Amino acid sequence: MTIGGHLARPDRRVLGLHAMLLRLAGFVPDEMAAAGRAWLGEGRVTDVALSVVHQATLTGIRLHAEDVDLLTGSVGRLG
């Protein structure tokens, strides 16, 4: 991500979601993981969080407690 031509440092949520996508590799469709990484690069944190929640609901993937907290904080900003 760049801001004003300079490389911006990702915030903790972006880093956490990226790490989560890496942990979920092989458990979620490759297309979803690739889209999630692209969305993070665009700053679309909520889209990534909603996508992970959707996949976890569909497949029954068990998420780490820290991941649930991160997702809750990322999606909770909607309402």
16-51 pLDDT, tens digit per residue, is 999 999 999 999 999 999 999 999 999 999 999 999
Q: What percent of the chain has pLDDT over 90?
A: 75
Segments forming the whole domain that contains residue 23: 12-74
Q: Are 37 and 21 in contact (CB under 8 A)?
A: yes
The tally of domains found in the chain comes to 1
Note whether residue 4 is domain-resident.
no
Note whether residue 44 is domain-resident.
yes
Q: Are 52 and 20 in contact (CB under 8 A)?
A: yes
Task: Please state, in angstroms and rounded to a whole number, the distance separating the CA atoms of residues 63 and 68.
Answer: 6
* pLDDT for position 51: 96
Task: Please state, in angstroms and rounded to a whole number, the distance separating the CA atoms of residues 33 and 21.
Answer: 6
Answer yes or no: is pLDDT of 53 > 90.
Answer: yes
Q: Are 39 and 48 in contact (CB under 8 A)?
A: yes
Mean pLDDT, all residues of the chain: 87
CA-wise closest residue to 8 among 41, 49, 48: 41
* pLDDT for position 2: 52
Note whether residue 61 is domain-resident.
yes
pTM exceeding 0.75: yes
